[in-house]
């Protein structure tokens, strides 16, 4: 690993249950990350630990914490992964991804200082940069900005909840895409070395690595997502006037 990427070498993953309760498919994918990265720490967060980490790291208000709790696990996980890796530096990896080689090899490709390494997955997001697997450097302004975006998102929704207004959808892809577009110059996209399907790059990601729906329904309880709204680019200016109530219907108090 070179000197241009400073991070705590930790791989983060999450699901609603403990790792020991995971379906065998995901027990195997998580073990693959561990086996290929013996020099990295591995941390797994269930839903209770995940909520504690989000609330404590961001120091959320009571209503913001309640807002977070109202989202489905998959959407909680999206918000959680944006702060957990950016706080200390480290890698987030989806459970339905499996590494084909160590990410140490990926990091060694970087010959300039960078805040974030992503692998573009054009099928997944409109701007071509996926948030399924990414690596954050530690103590970066970029990471703090992303944490602040999640904080503002949850505090806005806590405000809406407090006033009995519909909450916004916790759509991690929207947040990520806007964040990426505003910070392209600080991000390093790593492309697979070959388009040949026999060489998938650094990990394989897809439906073939998902357990059957029947098992997942034991943990993935349906919850109302919220009302999807346009993302202001991307908060602050005192949270873009709390989503600029003069020009939108998001707040009409």
The CA distances from residue 76 to 50, 71, 189, in Å, are 8, 6, 25
Confidence class for position 29, pLDDT limits 50, 70, 90: very high
Q: Which of 106-110, 175-179, 209-213 has the highest mean pLDDT?
A: 209-213
With a pLDDT cut of 90, the percent of the chain lying above it is 34
In the chain, domain spans: 10-244
| pTM for this model (two decimals) | 0.84
DSSP at 19: G
**Residue from 231, 241, 94 nearest 150 by CA:** 231
Lowest-confidence region among 16-25, 52-61, 210-219:
210-219
State the Cα–Cα distance between residues 139 and 158, nearest whole angstrom: 27
Is CATH 3.90.550 correct for 10-244? yes
Convert the pLDDT of each residue in 121-168 to its tens digit.
544 444 456 688 889 988 888 899 899 889 988 998 898 899 888 888
| Contact in structure between 101 and 194 (CB atoms under 8 Å) | no
State the Cα–Cα distance between residues 81 and 18, nearest whole angstrom: 17
Q: b vs e for 120-152, b when ≥16 Cβ sit within 10 Å of the residue's Cβ?
A: bbeeebeeebbbbbbbbbbebebbebbbbbbbb
205/71: higher pLDDT: 71
Average pLDDT rounded to a whole number, residues 21-42: 95
Confidence class for position 231, pLDDT limits 50, 70, 90: low
Convert the pLDDT of each residue in 192-226 to its tens digit.
444 434 345 677 777 788 899 899 888 888 776 66
| Contact in structure between 204 and 100 (CB atoms under 8 Å) | yes
Bridge partners, residue 117, by sequence: 135, 188
């Amino acid at each position: 690993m070179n000197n241009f990427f400073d991070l705590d070498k930790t791989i983060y993953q999450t699901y609603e249950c403990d790792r020991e309760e995971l379906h065998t498919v995901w027990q195997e994918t998580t073990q693959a990350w561990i086996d290929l990265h013996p020099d990295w720490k591995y941390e797994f967060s269930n839903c209770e630990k995940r909520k504690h980490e989000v609330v404590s790291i961001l120091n959320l208000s009571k209503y913001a914490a309640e807002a977070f709790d109202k989202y489905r696990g998959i959407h909680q996980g999206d918000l959680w992964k944006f702060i957990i890796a950016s706080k200390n530096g480290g890698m987030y990896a989806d459970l339905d991804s499996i590494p084909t080689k160590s990410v140490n090899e990926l990091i060694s490709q970087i010959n300039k200082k960078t805040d974030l390494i992503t692998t573009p997955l054009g099928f997944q997001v409109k701007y071509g940069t996926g948030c399924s697997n990414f690596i954050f450097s530690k103590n970066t302004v970029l990471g703090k900005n992303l944490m602040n975006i999640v904080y503002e998102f949850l505090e806005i929704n806590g405000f809406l909840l407090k006033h009995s207004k519909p909450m916004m959808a916790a759509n991690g892809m929207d947040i990520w895409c806007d964040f990426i577009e505003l910070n392209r110059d600080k991000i390093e996209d790593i492309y697979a070395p070959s388009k040949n399907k026999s060489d998938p790059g650094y990990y394989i990601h897809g439906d073939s690595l998902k357990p059957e729906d029947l098992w997942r329904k034991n943990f993935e309880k349906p919850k109302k997502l919220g009302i999807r709204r346009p993302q202001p680019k991307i908060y602050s200016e005192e949270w873009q006037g709390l989503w600029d109530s003069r020009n939108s219907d998001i707040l009409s108090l």
